[in-house]
Amino acid sequence: MTRFKLQVEYDGGPFVGWQRQDTGLGVQQVVEEAITAFSGETVRVHCAGRTDAGVHARGQVAHFDLVRDDITVKTVRDAINYHTKPHPVAILQAEVVDENFHARFSAVEREYLYVILNRRARAALSHGRVWWVPGPLDAAAMHDAAQVLIGKHDFTTFRAAVCQAQSPIKTLDELSVTRFGDEIHVKARARSFLHHQVRNLVGTLSAVGFGRWTKADLKRALEARDRSAGGQTAPPDGLYLMRVGYDEHATGAKPFVSEDVGAEDE
């Protein structure tokens, strides 16, 4: 039995999310069926974070096991990419890892990026991949206010009602807001996140950007531990899972970097 670790990129627009579902096509189903198509084995693919419908990934991580021992990592990457066509899913890198590695439970850090298009003209080339906000936002004020959320807190105010996490307490290591021309990038980094936590944080920070909320208002919302005290939920379009961090010494990963793809930079 060989365990393979994958770095996966996808456009979440056409999918019901990562997870295989009866209500529509999930990214998981596309990858699993691609693996079966070239290997002849029925597999279960586990991911680092189950993204929602419309959420994208540049650095999703997944793993699966194959009984066959004659398949190389290059074949795994290229064969999956061949069989996932025409779906917007790509395997950027494949590695053989230790049997104790788990894409979700071995992760020590996750990084998300949320992209806001902040201009009067609607999105054309980036439609479906950003949150278009036509009114002017003060990114500096958003960043300053966001710093009250850094650290270990009860994030109930920013937690979806359907969240299945056992505890609302999470440690947010980074929450930064930076303007790049017409785009505002919100970067969130933590070991793990609650369901809709990043989107709820971004939606609430937009109220600060519009001048409707202050830094003190955001702090009071956090301390209220009540979802109704928070702001809106930002749409999924602008959210990207950028990177999942692991202790490579613990995973036993044996990396393969493609000769034609080059080193990945998430």
Residues belonging to the active site: 52
Give the torsion through C-alpha atoms of 162, 168, 174, 179, to 10 deg.
40
DSSP-assigned letters across all residues of 20-68: -BTTB--HHHHHHHHHHHHH------EESS-PBTT-EEEEEEEEEEES-
Contact 231, 217 (CB under 8 A): no
How far is the C-alpha of 46 from the C-alpha of 145, rounded, in Å? 36
DSSP H or E segment with residue 175: strand 169-180
Phi-psi region of 136 (alpha: psi -120 to 50; beta: other; left: phi over 0): beta
